[in-house]
Each structure stands twice: as C-alpha cells, then as structure tokens.
Amino acid sequence: MSDWTFPKGDLMKGKRGLVMGVANDRSIAWGISQQLAAQGADIAFTYQGEALERRVRPLIESIGMTTMISADVTNDAEMDTAFAQLKDKFGAIDFLVHAIAFAGKEELQGSFVANTTREGFRRAMDISVYSFVDAAKRASAMMPDGGSIVTLTYLGAERVIPAYNVMGVAKAGLEAATRYAARDLGKQGIRVNAISAGPMRTLAMAGIRGGKQLMTTGREWSFLKEDTSMEGVAGCALYLLSPLGQSITGEVVHVDAGMHVMGIPETPEGGSAA
Ligand SMILES: NC(=O)c1ccc[n+]([C@@H]2O[C@H](COP(=O)([O-])OP(=O)(O)OC[C@H]3O[C@@H](n4cnc5c(N)ncnc54)[C@H](O)[C@@H]3O)[C@@H](O)[C@H]2O)c1
C-alpha cells in the first residue's frame, strides 16, 4: 500500500464528486482521492473495465467509499450508463477529477514523426483529450450549484520531451481543452483547471520508454532537487477542487518541484552544463 500522508480536515465536507482514473495504489487519482476523503468528500469512482475492479475495490473501501462504476471512456454506451448510475447515487455533484491518458507503447519511443500512426494518434486523442471534454459535459450537467473540474497534464505539452511524442501533442490538446471548457462552464459557476505534474512512478509512466530517466532528470533539474510528491499533487488538487481555489479557472498549475522553470541543466558546481 502507498505510504503518503494527507492533512485531515473539513474542506470538502458535504461535497460529492467523481474520480476517474484509479488503476492501482500508485495512481495519481488514488492519491488525490485519499486527500479528498481526508477532507470529508464523498467520492464515486469510475474504473476501466472489470479487470481492474478487483484491484480498485479494496482501495476505495479502505477510505470508506462504496460507489464504483465501470466505464471505458471510448465507449459512449458505457459512459451513458456510468453517469446515469452516478446521478442515481448522488443526484448532483460538486467536483470531477479526470486522470486518464493512453498511447500505445510503440508510439512512446523513438521518432515522433516516424512512429505516429493515424490510428495511434486517434486513440491517444480520444482517450486522453476527448474523454475529458465528454466527462466535463456530463459532469457539468450534474452541477446545478457550480463546481470544480481538474485534469492531469505534463510538461510534454509545452516542451519536447523525448519519447513522450504523441502524448505531448495530446496533452497540448488537453490544456487547450481546459481553457475552452473553463470559458464555457464559467457561466455555470464551474471552474476548470489542469495540474501539470512532474514525473511520478505510476503504471502510465511505465509505458514510456526511458521513463526511469525522466524521473532522474525531473529530480536533477528541479529547484528543490526532489521527486514530485503525491502529497504535492493531491494538495494542489484539493486546493483547486475546494473553496480555497475560488477565482482560479482556465489555469495549468505546475507541481514539479520547479523543474519546468529550468532552461538548461546545471553542473554539480552550479555552472551551466550547456
Ligand atoms: N505519472 C506521471 O509522471 C504523470 C505526470 C503528469 C501527468 N500524468 C497524468 O496523470 C494521469 C493519471 O496517470 P497516472 O500516472 O496516475 O497513471 P495510471 O496508469 O495509474 O492512470 C491512468 C488511468 O487511465 C485509465 N485509462 C486508460 N485508458 C482508459 C480508457 N479507455 N477508459 C477508462 N480509463 C482509461 C487507466 O485505467 C488508469 O486508471 C494521466 O493523465 C497522466 O498522463 C502522469
């Protein structure tokens, strides 16, 4: 089991919401869920198909939650059923966490130009970007009193990260979608933001060729000289999803120990390595 610790309190007391993207106890969605639960939130979960149910159920039960709904985001009928079940259970919701992305292993290595196929591109965009738009549409229809939506992105949207390839293009789309959704849903009092997390050791990271090196570089380039912490990412999600995040929308917040600000690597003596 994961060994993170999260502050307890009442910031999310009386708030209900949906978390999409828990696959195991290293998932970013799981860290965020634990933090939200520690602040009193009532959470429903979607998971990707029956294969994951056995892994996810004990996790959510460990934080006192019971609502688990199977939803493959590429399947409209499953999404219809999932949100109908959510409506039956909660009626209205206050927040949505979208922590879902996918690209084929063959696309997450080598040359972006050579390795990106039409089908691979379509699949990455569908699962990693359209699913956010679709979930935001469905969730916002259940937020009569306003709400807050958070998705997860990565620096590969803004800069070239070797091997991140089509996923970088997808994350650029996701960040743009965050801004457009924030504009549309602002009228309903719904805030929409993205967290750009530094490299973290999860299942999704394991699919990227050289993922281990991404972790090492992330640490070395960061100002704090440390890995991105689950506590930091979950804390940021809590801030954006709770009343603390009032007035913040259409934003991409970096939680990466300062790595994204660094221009070029430095030598151990503090000089420029380039
Ligand atoms: N791990 C990192 O270093 C890192 C850094 C920045 C951003 N992110 C982003 O965080 C989010 C969560 O990833 P993670 O690192 O926690 O890994 P993870 O593998 O634990 O989570 C990815 C989730 O996507 C779900 N998913 C994939 N295809 C799906 C589909 N068709 N239908 C429904 N669900 C589907 C998986 O079931 C899984 O729960 C992703 O958007 C990822 O790009 C991760």
Q: How many domains does the chain have?
A: 1
Distant-in-sequence contacts of 244-247, Cβ < 8 A, 24+ apart: 244/11, 245/148, 245/191, 245/193
48 within ligand 1 shell (Cβ under 6 A)? yes
The pLDDT value recorded for residue 178 is: 99
Distance, in Å, from the CA atom of 64 to the CA atom of 75, rounded to the nearest integer, reads 29
Report how far ligand 1's centroid is from the alpha carbon of 20 (Å): 9
Report how far ligand 1's centroid is from the alpha carbon of 74 (Å): 14
pTM: 0.97
> By residue range, what is the domain housing residue 214?
16-258
Instruction: Report residues of the chain scoring pLDDT below 70.
Output: 1, 274
Distance, in Å, from the CA atom of 190 to the CA atom of 194, rounded to the nearest integer, reads 14
127 within ligand 1 shell (Cβ under 6 A)? yes
Best residue for ligand 1 mutational test, from 69, 72, 97, 100 (most atoms within 8 Å of Cβ): 100
Flag whether 8 is in a domain: no
Flag whether 9 is in a domain: no
Give the model confidence (pLDDT) of 170-223 as tens digits.
Answer: 999 999 999 999 999 999 999 999 999 999 999 988 888 888 888 999 999 999
Is 154 assigned a catalytic role? Answer: yes
Token pair for 163: 């091997």
Distance, in Å, from the CA atom of 52 to the CA atom of 242, rounded to the nearest integer, reads 29
Sign of the torsion angle spanned by Cα atoms 56, 153, 14, 33: positive
Flag whether 162 is in a domain: yes
Flag whether 170 is in a domain: yes
| Nearest ligand 1 atom, CA 100 | 24
99 within ligand 1 shell (Cβ under 6 A)? yes
Report which protein residue has its CA nearest ligand 1's atom 28. 102
Flag whether 271 is in a domain: no
73 within ligand 1 shell (Cβ under 6 A)? yes
Flag whether 1 is in a domain: no
The pLDDT value recorded for residue 1 is: 61
149 within ligand 1 shell (Cβ under 6 A)? no
The pLDDT value recorded for residue 274 is: 66
**In sequence order, which residues have a C-beta less than 8 Å from that of residue 88 and are 6 or more positions away?**
none
Report how far ligand 1's centroid is from the alpha carbon of 36 (Å): 18
Flag whether 166 is in a domain: yes
Domain CATH code at residue 93: 3.40.50.720
